[in-house]
Chains A and B, each alone.
Chain A
């Protein structure tokens, strides 16, 4: 009997040397260990034909063989699987320097990107976003903004007229008048939008984008204006950025200022970008002229306001290093595809 078991064991050992895959190991294992058809399984079935006094020894022998076979073939299976896994990995070896497969994704226009950044900053300060119409009347674009018909400031902006009364707005402040007419202070609005001036050369586009801010409340001062713009330049150009105010003139603000920020390229030491001055002109601003408030039915004895206007194209060009304003309106996918800055 024992000789028979030993024979099976030898058969397993010899047979296993021929095995080359985990699948063959599985089949081989079945040949011996399957409960119904396996050679060892069959031995268990033989039990009933064994003399009762030999049964215990017989059973023990078979069980030992079974356990041995399970362990032996299990180990072989594990080895085989490890080998196969390695082979599979090796078969899938790649050249990692081949070009990347990208998922095509489009970009927002740089003007929209800058618009969104500025809106984020001022929305956090409590500004509502108001977009007026591109076509405006002479009254809202000029007269209500303290630029009556004979005013020389009208020469500052070459205007496209659509009729004697209607024109393409030259500034988004036009829309703010509509807001002030309808709403009493406190007012904090930010008006982004397209504006138009009859100017078309290397550095000017007849259509460009402005973002005007307006605050009307009690006790608004120049100090508030600078404080607010300080926050703005820090957030958009970096923490170390500072502002400088210098006198200027706009009909709808008094005093009026040009606002420069310290050059974010050289930190104010002087470089090509700031033309050696250390400062970059970024926006115009001022304290709202009382005449504008009164034109809108707001009592200038009680309220005062501040206003500022930012050129989006200029900001986008400074921020992204775009050297030509015309590139912004040419829709070249090679240009637009570069500015993934969501």
Chain B
């Protein structure tokens, strides 16, 4: 909300500096996001009186002698066509700052400092300025728009600072207004608040006007949708003369960023800013049937708005119609057919309250917003609706641009603009705060806020003005009290009366944190990726059309297609992370993410989807292998105190012969493997990448499983090294399984060497294992262990044709 200090001063005496006012506003809940002087970049520019003005031969320039009063008389060269002796112009002294302009003399290109100069051999001690060079537009000061010097009034005191004359000494407050205070989305609203905090009188705007006897018989307003339009008032104005607005009004509009159009339109815009009530003015001669009808649009109904675009509407949109046709899209924009033209001589003013969510939704759905729709979306109050109409009629008279008729129609859904009574207990107010605010302070604060307090015992009775729709309960009163009394009065305590509770993380949270720390210990960095991804990520993984991963939840209003689907796998984000790392020259690394996959039960969603906590790991770099990743998988199993088993598997984005499924207690819970070469090529990945994904949700049943102590063996364990020659096709896992089947005393088998070579035959390999035998009931003898080995070898020979390597 932009508020010029000069405008605020119309309604409250402000006798503190702008900076002090900023502090006051901040303390009572209105953060000033920006505070600046209108002429903040303009310095040392004074009223200059041109004593002499001689043309410089063969140029468009003049050399002038300029009287700058107390600052002296200076020779200044000037290129403007309206420079003349006897004129008063803004003179920038040496050392002054003004705006630099481009060759067109219109475009501002930053701030410049004036120095001594020489033009065509003539010294120049300063510069005479145009409006653009001072940041003053035509709307801010009449004549400032001229492409030449800005002409100052004849009575301007020579040598005086031009800033007060041009209004450049005004201050602009850009104030953040919280959503509960739509009443402060206006100059008057802010002024009321300032009056309360400075304990000054609020001076209400002039609402007086005189009605003529003119009326229109049978004119009527009907509202078919009171749920969307609780109040609609209309007033007829005759003898309208469409002209430019006076300078003061144009200037104020310019300060809040609105361009002047014509007096009647400017009045509606002025009131929007001053009172926070959007208004609309119809050219009455374009309205048919002497009627206004407020209704929902029909499906497919069209309207052309005054910016000449055709909109197609639905029943969710609201129209203002005359007796025959739509003339405005309610709260958003007027229709082209009824806009104010130069020839307009009768006007119908509209001041209405429309439901904020309806205007917000309409504005979004038709893709059209205006100052008016933005204001309605925040919520207007009927107090302002009534006041705005009166103020508009007052301004018609003040600007002398029309006659106020007596034809006024007001359709009201039954809401009162009178204050509402609210009674609260002072004890409860203080109980919210935790301190006791003296009663006289509470009464004083409530008085300043125009709540007309009455205190009887513990009961405080307030009259809440209609513009304070946010005031409903004692909690609201507590907030009003403390923001005015000052938060510095709060005395920190520490839950003086609360009961003891047990805090901390639950088993799942603790287990996941242990898992994360274990992954850090194997050199992996935790990363966090967005919960959404792109349909192209699913293509990257070469997932077939019927893959379950493609059954993803779609965001209805995504930021972009790249962020439009809820993740059904974490692998794609992880591949992209590796690609980004390679691009930055990070050619090795380990990453992991613990995040949710979103598995819908139905689409579109009608119940909560399954949010599955998932672990994804990537290892990349020349030193990584299938088995380093297998080591990470084993680490996960170790941390969770479970056992994983692995089996060959295939999936669309991994190496067909270097991919394993991971199972726990017979249930498949994930996979790992090497990224497929075609995908690596597509991503321009030159380094090997290994990926793993584990569904932690399936493992959560094992969380909290304790590490258990197994008593150490009573008798000495025996260890044997066995080198076995088998066909190349036989896997290590098969051999280990067979060994374990053959002897129940085996507690560990560790592969320590694989040899392939001519010595042992083309299709053969030799695998060397260290096998550990742990005795149970009684000690081993040398013979008993030899017996185990024999049995193992026999079994292996039977199954694989394995031989002991000689």
Interface residue ranges, A against B (CB under 8 Å): 104-109, 111-112, 116, 119, 122-129, 131, 133-135, 137, 149-153, 155-156, 160-163, 165-166, 168, 186-188, 194, 196, 198, 200, 206-207, 215, 217-224, 226-228, 230-231, 243-249, 251, 254-257, 287, 289-290, 304, 328-334, 336-337, 342
Contact = CB atoms under 8 A, between A and B. Distances in A.
B563 to A, nearest CB: 6
Given A155-B377, A217-B499, A246-B487, A255 B434 contact: no
Contacts of A251: 179-180
Given A207-B531, A220-B495, A256-B479, A163 B526 contact: no
Contact of B29 (A156, A198, A247): A247
A290 B495 contact: no
Nearest to A107: B525
A111 B734 CA distance: 44
Contacts of A137: 608
A163 B492 contact: no
Contacts of B473: 254, 290
Given A162-B553, A163-B606, A290-B475, A106 B522 contact: yes
B526 A207 contact: no
A109 B527 contact: yes
A156 to B, nearest CB: 6
A111 B495 CA distance: 28
A223 B493 contact: yes
B531 A134 contact: yes
A222 B432 contact: yes
Interface in B522-570: 522-532, 553-559, 563, 566
Smallest CB-CB A-B distances: 3 pairs: A221-B434, A223-B434, A247-B29
Contact of B527 (A151, A249, A331): A331
Given A106-B590, A206-B559, A228 B494 contact: yes
A228 B516 CA distance: 30
Contacts of B527: 109, 331, 336
Contacts of B589: 333
Contact of B501 (A127, A200, A219): A127
Given A215-B498, A223-B435, A129 B506 contact: yes
Interface residues of B, number: 92
Nearest to B180: A249
Q: Which of B29, B356, B596 has the most CB of A within 10 A?
A: B29
A163 B605 contact: yes
Given A220-B495, A254-B473, A162 B605 contact: yes
Interface string B473-484: 101101100110
A133 B608 contact: yes
Contacts of A255: 432, 475, 478-479, 482-483
Interface in B88-102: none
Contact of B497 (A131, A219, A227, A256): A219
Contacts of A334: 584, 586
Nearest to A242: B492
Contacts of B528: 109, 111, 328-329, 331
A153 B521 CA distance: 45
B433 A152 contact: no
B503 A126 contact: yes
A336 B494 contact: no
Contact of A333 (B483, B496, B532, B581): B581
Q: Which of B431, B503, B591 has the most CB of A within 10 A?
A: B503
B505 interface: yes
A311 to B, nearest CB: 15
Contacts of B598: 134-135
B517 A152 contact: no
Nearest to B559: A200
Q: Which of A149, A155, A244 has the most CB of B within 10 A?
A: A155
Contacts of A337: 525
Contacts of A228: 494-495
A135 B553 contact: yes
Contacts of B182: 152
Contacts of B379: 152
B491 interface: yes
A226 B225 CA distance: 47
A331 B179 contact: no
A273 B522 CA distance: 36
Contact of B432 (A122, A246, A304): A304
30 contacts: A106-B523, A106-B524, A119-B505, A125-B503, A128-B501, A128-B503, A129-B505, A135-B608, A160-B557, A161-B557, A162-B555, A168-B531, A188-B501, A198-B559, A206-B530, A206-B559, A217-B498, A218-B497, A221-B432, A222-B433, A222-B434, A224-B434, A227-B495, A246-B27, A247-B487, A249-B178, A254-B476, A290-B473, A290-B475, A332-B586
